[in-house]
A and B are shown apart, each in its own frame.
Chain A
Amino acid sequence: MAEELEDLTDEMKAAVGQETGRSTYEVTTQGIRTFARSVGYKDPKYFDESAARALGYSGLPSPPGFLGMPIFNPNAGDEGARRELFKNPFERRLNGGTEVEPIEQVYGGDVLDAVSRITTLELTQSRLGKMLIQNSETVYTRKSDNKVVAKTRGTGLSY
């Protein structure tokens, strides 16, 4: 069925621009240190708040790209789950890529609202067969001052 798809379905076309997910991300100081450790940072400002303050930061800064973790709660039901806006006939999925646009400095203690939308959908022929390319954007807004602190864009490949 997926290989027979000649064009985006009406459901797919209607999904472009629609919200697919809404989550709350917590940026903890421990999260910043674990992220910095795993990525291999040695810069003291990502581990030691006093070193960060000596450089003029107002707290422990988050390295670029780290926007905390969504709050995990196994008892929260479907709240925060991704909305399926269309039936995807393709079974295999790949992460095609990621883009990060840091806008404001994020700090340990920040709580962010993350809202994701589909920006484009394209049906194409690839070396793996027919492929659906979905581009999405997530906007992260800090709850305490309502500032947009970052945007991320991702490409999902289904084939």
Chain B
Amino acid sequence: MADQIYWDDVSEGQEFSLNEPMSSQRLIVWAAASGDFYQIHYDDNFAKNNNLPDIIVHGALKGMLVGRLLDEWKGEQGKIKNWGVSYRGMDPARQDLTVWGKVTKKYEEGGETLVDLDVGVAQPDGTQTTPGTATVALPKR
């Protein structure tokens, strides 16, 4: 498990990320976990017949990868207040995706020490397909 991060030690502009391989096997495990069995995510022929370059990564999986990024970053004492992403582009499978977060604001509100972030998912060439935002409460030292 990651060490606990504290609000005091976070600064605006700070970035962190995960590099995630998107194999066909992984998409099948996600289909079982989520109940999304739409064939464009695991059936090569079905995807090609729908004019797609390859099977594509589920949008919801990308959203939950952002959730994992935040969960691991905040540590046991932090709390995710909310996060959201927009699905602006498709990500073909069988490539690595970078899931990233960047601190945009650090403030205190309602007795909590909070951090706002930009979040997203990027393809290996840097194309951003899943931009979003999040708010996380972090403990104070």
Contact = CB atoms under 8 A, between A and B. Distances in A.
Interface of A: 31, 34-35, 37-41, 43-44, 55, 63-66, 69-70, 72, 94-102, 153, 155
B76 interface: yes
Interface stretch (B5-13, B43-51, B58-66, B110-118): B58-66
B61 A43 contact: no
Contacts of A43: 1, 71-72
B15 to A, nearest CB: 19
Interface of B: 1, 18, 20, 26, 29-30, 32-35, 59-61, 63-65, 67-68, 70-72, 76, 79-87, 132
Main secondary structure of the interface of A (DSSP, over half): mixed
B1 A38 contact: no
A40 B20 contact: yes
30 contacts: A31-B33, A34-B33, A35-B33, A35-B64, A37-B33, A38-B30, A39-B61, A39-B64, A39-B67, A40-B65, A40-B68, A41-B68, A41-B71, A43-B71, A44-B1, A63-B71, A94-B87, A95-B60, A95-B87, A96-B86, A97-B84, A98-B60, A98-B87, A99-B82, A99-B84, A99-B85, A100-B83, A101-B82, A102-B79, A155-B86
B26 A38 contact: yes
Residue picked from B59, B76, B82, B86, most chain A C-beta under 10 Å = B82
Contacts of A38: 26, 29-30, 32-34, 61
A37 B29 contact: yes
Given A34-B29, A38-B29, A98-B63, A63 B68 contact: yes
Contact of B71 (A44, A64, A72, A99): A64
A96 B84 CA distance: 11
Given A35-B33, A38-B26, A98 B84 contact: yes
Nearest to A101: B82
A55 B4 CA distance: 14
Contacts of B18: 40
B103 to A, nearest CB: 18
A98 B130 CA distance: 10
A45 to B, nearest CB: 8
Given A63-B67, A95-B87, A153-B84, 16 more contacts: A31-B33, A34-B32, A35-B64, A38-B26, A38-B30, A38-B32, A39-B61, A39-B65, A39-B68, A41-B68, A63-B68, A65-B64, A98-B87, A101-B82, A102-B81, A102-B82
A53 to B, nearest CB: 14
Contacts of B82: 99-102
